[in-house]
Structure 1
Amino acid sequence: MSDFLIDEELLAAIDMGSNSFHLAIARVDHGEVKKVASMSEKVQLAAGLDENKNLTEAAQQRGLACLARFVGRLSAVQPNRLRIVATNALRQAKNGHEFIQKAAEILPKPIEIIAGREEARLIYLGVSHTMENSGRRLVIDIGGGSTELIIGEEFEPIHTESLQMGCVAYTKAFFAEGEINHKSFDKAVFAARKELSTIANTYKNAGWDTVVGSSGTIKACRQITVNMGWSNAQENLTREGLEKLKDKLLKYKHVSEMDFDGLKEDRRAVLPAGIAILYAVFDILDIDKLVYSDGALREGVMYDLLGRFQHEDIRDRSVQALMGRYNADPKQAERVVKTAQHLFEGVAAELKLTSDDSDLLRRAAYLHEIGLAISHGGYHRHGAYLLQHSDIPGFSQIDQNHLSHLVAHHRRKLRQDDKIDVNKVGGHKLMHLCLLLRLAVLVNHSRSDQMLPAIELSVQNAQQWQLSVSGDAKQWPLLVAELHDEQVQFKNWDIELKIHSEQFVD
């Protein structure tokens, strides 16, 4: 992977939303992402969640067919310049792994299931890069399964939240047969108000200068009010216009009767639920008017990807923030990182490890001691739990799962069951990274920059590793003893670790 993108190179993002799937392809022009092609399809993945939160076969097939069509447009985009993110529907689906496995046969890159607050951060990034940066803004994005609300300034989010209310989910709950009446609408508004009440005080106390809406529901509501003459002179969506839209909606008895000027057919079924959610947002947060932005999740994903190429990777900032929050020892972390990178370089080619694997190992090395903030006993398990369950900007759920396993297995005994779990999550690569981190931590047990031997790691094959320790092994009796113990742990994962020095040969 190159270190940076030159102008005119392509980037692409696939946003697998709960209502719609979107593909965006863009060129990088002087640091800006300029969209050159896009596709959108109403897949309604959230509508395919059954009563047990499993995706139905029909919903999976809709999604897979859409992704196959998207892939046909990606021939000019290199895989390392593509990101594929999935949101609330796959966060909720208990059998989501089945869909992801099927999709892996179609897609050139793995799907990243992102947490709600990460989705919110990326939405804000997309909006902020497509609007003039002036003052503090509140961004609202009503999706199919969730609604994201973000307060931020310029390109930095201050508050991010993802609430369990979306136009597809609320359609299933309150307008399932397409019928429209005051009772169903009021129930939907009440449910949305209940969700919003958890953040209302925090958000109103933080305050904002402007309110921005993005994505399909808000786009449709704003366009209808403009076409009906209910917007203001700047064609913003106002509280008065939304009130008129609600009153007009409630005159219909079924979605098939709606004749709003500008309403697209594929938005018809979910519009009542979307209006109910937006009405509750305006009410609870005391909003008078809202401007619309074309920027959304997929634009945010591409700007985030661009940042990774330009050495502005949010993931590295998140790692440093976690270290600070949990008071991890930065000097020890740097020692382990340096050793881990050295060991990685010695075996990367033979083990077919990539630069992405190197980044993962480096970040795990920085974070391997964060669990000490909870307790010394079993701190590796505490650290793993924190990495698995925290909201970490820039990381997908899969990324966090990989980091969690690396930290969980960097010390103590390795069992055959652990190997099976690690392989299930990340294959042989993740298993090898676990072992590299263990060696890097072990070599630095003295927590000192002095009196450390030079070490070299090589592999004859994936099952036979050799660690060479320079100089007289008698100078480091504790290290040699610990390496002996580590041979046993490697053997538990079916790898033979040989140790060689001038005074000691296995």
Structure 2
Amino acid sequence: MRVAVADVGTNSTHLLIAEAQGGHYRVLDALKVRTRLGECLDERGHMTPQGEGRLREALLRFRELAGALEVPSVRVYATSALREAPNGPEIAERMRQETGVYPVIISGEREGRLTYLGASHAVDFGEDNVLLDLGGGSLEIVRGHGEEVQDVISLPLGGIRMQDRFLRRDPTSKSEYRALVAYLHGALEPYQARFGVSEATQVFLSSGTAQDLALALAAGRGLTPSSTNGLRISVEDLGELIGQLRRMNEEERAQIPAFAKRARIIVAAATVLHTALTVLGASSAVISEGALREGMLAEELQRHEQYVSGLSARHRSALALAERFRVDLPHARQVTALSRELYTQLCEQGEALPSHGRGLLRAAATLHEAGQLIAQSSHHKHSAYLIRHGGLLGFGPDEVELVAQIARYHRRSLPKDSHPEFVVLSGADQRLVSQMAAILRVADGLDRSYGGHTRLEALERSGKGWQLTACVPNTLDRQGAQEKADLWEREFGPLSFVWLTEEDCLNEEEMALPLDGAQINSPTA
């Protein structure tokens, strides 16, 4: 299985493509684009057309590289820059339409949890850990017990944000620097009790800024490490380095190899980290090269390993066929899980569904987008063709035909008597196809963003129809479910929705990123 993940930050946008290999992953390629979206905000905080153009170009490059490595899609998470821009959701939707890649905007807390997960596969965590992840727009602080996240806070204290707000002179003046430090103390001290460190606490830093600072400190000792992962830096040494950098202008700072691409903001960014470490009571910290995108990758591969381990032989065949046809496996897995849950809850509410429909629905959900291999246009029909002729094992000929037709109706036209393949089915099979396709359409709509964030809470009868309560942080997924409830209404009655807030979703068990499943490890080199 190959996976492509990317994160859109305030300063840079990163792509990571990897392949799962028996509980580990091997990085196939990586690409970093300095989009500098933090520079592309107008006076109201809106992303400008220039920033939108930079993001579009990066996403197109990512999609091209992923396609060259036969990865069908790129999962993209957007952080502070798009999260805080009032027009961020509009830009994300335009990116989907124009590039075929949708940058899912995630909360700072979600970002912190994923970063902690990424760091946990790069360095050894202890019983009590505090992780600081500094970006251009925000600072995430995470406390964890071993590999389990216990507390997360996201603060608008990013390096670019602090640079633009406080450090206007070059070199930095004493008054500007003191104002920045005072502001940081005021912003951080309310969280001292929650994230303060003791002698038993291990402190980690995860960001490009932290890595650059570690390289500079190592160079000052005459060292040239090949990697910063696992390097320890002292707070005292960091403070001395900041004192030196404050006396330099940007051109002079750029002459230091570690800061060649971060010379403008390095004083502000380093000051954020130094002040945070000081307020929390840390004397040193260890660098982790694992960050958000590594967390995204680890989470995705972990979910896949757990999913595959629970498959029957014939559904392993469906998954193998999906891989052969380059199906977007994370999306297929999410739609399959949502379909199964909707089927189960319908049965629990007394709906008389055919028992053998469950397995057919699962196979159809796994393969519903196989037709994308041929063309996006009419891919639902192409999916049906590939299922019929792809050699799906473990299913009889009649069952294969039913799987093909369920997948065929996951989008566009509803089943009707004018469709030749549908009309030749028996009445019972027509009913089965329509019911299973109705479930599949809603499940597919609930992951329209391909973000994998939706989780169902309850499906209950409501008058002559149904009410579905779900954690759906993404507006696009909400719209997708509403638009694709047409066949559901015909088969089961009207479907209404109750959307839980993002905070509710983050408090749920799935969003807590448990690490008790299959261990996924990064390569050592």
Q: TM-score, normalised by structure 1?
A: 0.65
What's 1:430 paired with? Answer: 482
Q: Which amino acid aligns with 2:31?
A: M
CA–CA separation in structure 1 for the residues paired with 2:476 and 2:347: 20
- Counterpart secondary structure, 2:261: helix
Shift of 1:34: 2.3
Shift of 1:35: 1.8
Q: Find out whether 1:20 has 2:12 as its counterpart.
A: yes
CA–CA separation in structure 1 for the residues paired with 2:7 and 2:187: 24
Q: Find out whether 1:366 has 2:366 as its counterpart.
A: no
What's 2:53 paired with? Answer: 61
Greater Cα offset, 262-271 or 122-131: 262-271
CA–CA separation in structure 2 for the residues paired with 1:364 and 1:134: 31
1:11/1:77 contact within 8 Å kept: no
Greater Cα offset, 68-77 or 109-118: 68-77
Q: How does 1:171-250 map to 2 (within 5 A)?
A: 171-176=163-168, 178-204=170-196, 209-229=201-221, 235-250=231-246
What's 1:282 paired with? Answer: 277
Q: Find out whether 1:350 has 2:342 as its counterpart.
A: no
Q: Deviations over 1:265-322 (max 9, x none)?
A: 221111011011012111110111111111011110111111232236999xxxxxxx
CA–CA separation in structure 2 for the residues paired with 1:337 and 1:59: 52
Question: Cα gap change, 1:146/1:169 in structure 2, threshold over 3 Å: closer, same or farther?
Answer: same
CA–CA separation in structure 2 for the residues paired with 1:355 and 1:296: 34
Shift of 1:196: 1.6
- List runs of 5+ in structure 2 lacking aligned partners: 309-329, 332-343, 362-404, 412-436, 448-453, 461-466, 497-525
Q: Which amino acid aligns with 1:246?
A: I
Greater Cα offset, 40-49 or 178-187: 178-187
Q: Find out whether 1:335 has 2:348 as its counterpart.
A: yes
- Counterpart secondary structure, 1:168: helix
Q: Deviations over 1:472-503 (max 9, x none)?
A: xxxxxxxxxxx6xx59x9xxxxxxxxxxxxxx
CA–CA separation in structure 2 for the residues paired with 1:163 and 1:334: 45
CA–CA separation in structure 2 for the residues paired with 1:80 and 1:358: 20
What's 1:138 paired with? Answer: 130
What's 1:265 paired with? Answer: 260
- Counterpart secondary structure, 2:119: helix
CA–CA separation in structure 1 for the residues paired with 2:63 and 2:109: 28
Question: Cα gap change, 1:333/1:430 in structure 2, threshold over 3 Å: closer, same or farther?
Answer: same
CA–CA separation in structure 2 for the residues paired with 1:430 and 1:11: 29
Q: Find out whether 1:89 has 2:81 as its counterpart.
A: yes
2:197/2:281 contact within 8 Å kept: no
What's 2:415 paired with? Answer: none
- List runs of 5+ in structure 1 lacking aligned partners: 1-8, 316-330, 370-379, 389-396, 406-424, 440-464, 468-482, 490-506
Greater Cα offset, 157-166 or 71-80: 71-80
CA RMSD of aligned residues (A): 3.8
Shift of 1:217: 1.0
1:302 to 292, 297, 300: 297
2:254/2:261 contact within 8 Å kept: no
Q: Which amino acid aligns with 2:457?
A: Y
Shift of 1:54: 0.4
2:185/2:279 contact within 8 Å kept: yes
CA–CA separation in structure 2 for the residues paired with 1:100 and 1:51: 20
Q: Which amino acid aligns with 1:276?
A: T
What's 1:34 paired with? Answer: 26
Question: Cα gap change, 1:185/1:361 in structure 2, threshold over 3 Å: closer, same or farther?
Answer: same
CA–CA separation in structure 1 for the residues paired with 2:193 and 2:82: 30
Shift of 1:433: 3.8
Q: Which amino acid aligns with 1:44?
A: R
Shift of 1:339: 7.5
Question: Cα gap change, 1:336/1:33 in structure 2, threshold over 3 Å: closer, same or farther?
Answer: farther
CA–CA separation in structure 1 for the residues paired with 2:407 and 2:83: 33
Shift of 1:14: 0.9
CA–CA separation in structure 2 for the residues paired with 1:209 and 1:189: 24
CA–CA separation in structure 1 for the residues paired with 2:276 and 2:107: 22
Q: Find out whether 1:161 has 2:153 as its counterpart.
A: yes
Shift of 1:82: 3.2
Shift of 1:64: 1.8
CA–CA separation in structure 1 for the residues paired with 2:51 and 2:476: 28
1:361/1:433 contact within 8 Å kept: no
Q: Deviations over 1:212-240 (max 9, x none)?
A: 11111111111111111299x98521011
1:67/1:107 contact within 8 Å kept: yes
2:277/2:283 contact within 8 Å kept: yes
CA–CA separation in structure 1 for the residues paired with 2:32 and 2:222: 28
Q: How does 1:461-500 map to 2 (within 5 A)?
A: 465-466=490-491
1:141/1:214 contact within 8 Å kept: yes
2:231/2:287 contact within 8 Å kept: no
Identity of aligned residues (%): 23
Q: Deviations over 1:112-154 (max 9, x none)?
A: 1111110001101110011234432211110011111111133
- Counterpart secondary structure, 2:203: strand
1:137/1:151 contact within 8 Å kept: yes
Q: Deviations over 1:99-124 (max 9, x none)?
A: 22332245444221111110001101
- Counterpart secondary structure, 1:157: strand
Q: Deviations over 1:32-89 (max 9, x none)?
A: 2222321112211122122211011222222222222222211145556631110011
Q: Which amino acid aligns with 1:430?
A: Q
1:145/1:169 contact within 8 Å kept: yes
Q: Which amino acid aligns with 1:137?
A: N
CA–CA separation in structure 2 for the residues paired with 1:133 and 1:226: 23
CA–CA separation in structure 2 for the residues paired with 1:14 and 1:466: 39
Higher RCO (CA-CA < 8 Å; seq separation 6+): 2
Number of residue pairs the alignment of both structures matches? 376
Q: Find out whether 1:114 has 2:115 as its counterpart.
A: no
CA–CA separation in structure 1 for the residues paired with 2:199 and 2:442: 41
CA–CA separation in structure 2 for the residues paired with 1:277 and 1:367: 43
1:129/1:155 contact within 8 Å kept: no
Shift of 1:207: 8.0
Question: Cα gap change, 1:80/1:138 in structure 2, threshold over 3 Å: closer, same or farther?
Answer: farther
